[in-house]
Amino acid sequence: MSHISLPLAASAPAETPPHTGGLLLLIDGTAGLLTVAALGIALLLFLIIKTRLQPFVALLAVSIAVGLMAGLSVTELFGTVQRSDAVSTIESGMGGILGHVAIIIGLGTMLGAILEVSGGAEVLASRLLNLFGEKRAPLAMGLTGLIFGIPVFFDVGIFVLAPIVYAAAKRSGKSILLYCLPLLAGLSMTHAFLPPHPGPVAAAGLLHVDLGWVILMGIVCGIPAVLAAWAFSAWVGRRIFVPVPQDMVEAAEEAKRAVLDDQHAPSERPVALGTVLAIIGTPLLLILAATFSSIALDPSTPRSVIEFFGHPFVALTIALLLAYYVLGIRRGWSRKSLETVSTSSLKPVGNILLVVGAGGVFGAVLKASGVAQALSDTFNDVGLPVIVLAYLISLVLRVAQGSATVAIVTTAGIVAPLLAEGDHSQAFVALVIMAISAGSIFASHVNDGGFWIVAKYFGISERDTLKTWTVLESVLSVAGFVAAAVLSFFV
């Protein structure tokens, strides 16, 4: 299975200015490039935090500014119409990452939408609640978030599953925190650590890692992280009482009636739990099989077949077509309904893809200008392991500006040359991606949209949201990083 590649221009030695055609000529190469890096990151944070500039625009603007300050010429940055052989750093950075990431995120998003609208989430939650019983309902909600969070975005998972949380908390008379926090932990873990979510997929593209390794390390690091978060959820849920928000219960019931009236799925038959699990698990198993066939099998026809079906494009397409038939056509959906659900699910993805693409541009500019190499040399002198640096950089960016995606793509561009210098295995680089992803979810607070979604949907005051949700995300972050750091000693 071929890994994701991002074509970037070769960087020049850090000791001398790599280019002389830009707007700024550097007197001292390394010191000047480090200054450019610091100013670029400061400008990025200023544009996002203070001026509230859209992250895609901010990343693109900072990439251009950094390239010009570091000495890249206008031709190197943008190419020219007259010279067709001139390579545009911006175009290669954007196209190199989106050529792979856009397809994976698009297919995964449509798959999640079909599972959502068909009632797969409600079936999953209901069956788990019945299986575990009233006393273990929080665990059932946690497992629901963990499983359903694989194919759907974090906020979509909240919108779909919140009514089930309301019902479980109302029936028990206990704090809604006992039920919503385990669910949120499962959704957040899968969103941060597992493909086809944008963060890990983008990092895999920027750092050239097979998605199979990212899936494996995401599971290995994510499970202890979510267990730690569930333990915290049980502890804090018994100490802070938050009632079920009645206004949100009424809104959820009204939305459910609207969906039933819309008749996306004419069939009244519930979806089988095994069907939901099979559709979610199919692409993960195919991708993992393809990744490890290169280790277990010699080049042969069977290996080629496994790698074909396990390529992320093919695996996700198979899962999507399976969902179309089993959850849609076989249950009475019209082809128009399938098209409507699929198309509408892609509308929120545009912003994510543009931010990821701009992150690819930022990484390409850092490398082509020599800034990334200067940062790499400096970080090597610090003496901290690359996995620790990756976590700390991502954490600082996350806390400062709130966006996990921006933190991931920016950090990946900064640490890429550190990984390029050594002979690191795919498994180790996948663990670095886990560290970056863990840092990107640390301490969700008022500058993160997820903070306000959680507070609104579950009726939690801002003060209690800081005590519960913010700490929950920090527990997930630290536990996930510790798991990745410990595993890094063995790979």
Per-residue pLDDT tens over the stretch 350-394: 888 899 898 889 888 888 888 877 877 787 777 789 999 999 999
Is 393 part of any domain? no
Is 360 part of any domain? no
Is 86 part of any domain? no
The overall average pLDDT reported for the chain is: 85
Is 65 part of any domain? no
Residues 429/209, Cβ–Cβ less than 8 Å: yes
Number of domains within the chain = 1
Closest CA to 72 of 413, 327, 369, 292: 369
Q: Return the pLDDT at 82.
A: 56
Q: Return the pLDDT at 117.
A: 85
20: Cα separation from own chain's centroid = 38
Is 481 part of any domain? no
Residue 300 has pLDDT above 90, yes or no: no
Range of the domain at 252: 96-345
Per-residue pLDDT of 90-112, as tens digits, reads: 988 898 888 878 999 999 999 98
Per-residue pLDDT of 414-460, as tens digits, reads: 898 888 877 889 999 999 999 999 999 999 998 898 999 999 889 99
Give the pLDDT band of residue 4 (cuts 50, 70, 90): very low
Is 322 part of any domain? yes
**Out of 115-119, 205-209, 326-330, 476-480, which region has the weakest mean confidence (pLDDT)?**
115-119
Residues 6+ apart with CB under 8 A from 477: 225, 395, 438, 439, 441, 442, 443
CA–CA distance from 390 to each of 175, 270, 429 (Å)?
Answer: 37, 45, 11
Residues 6+ apart with CB under 8 A from 312: 100, 103, 104, 195, 196, 211, 283, 287
Is 484 part of any domain? no
Is 69 part of any domain? no
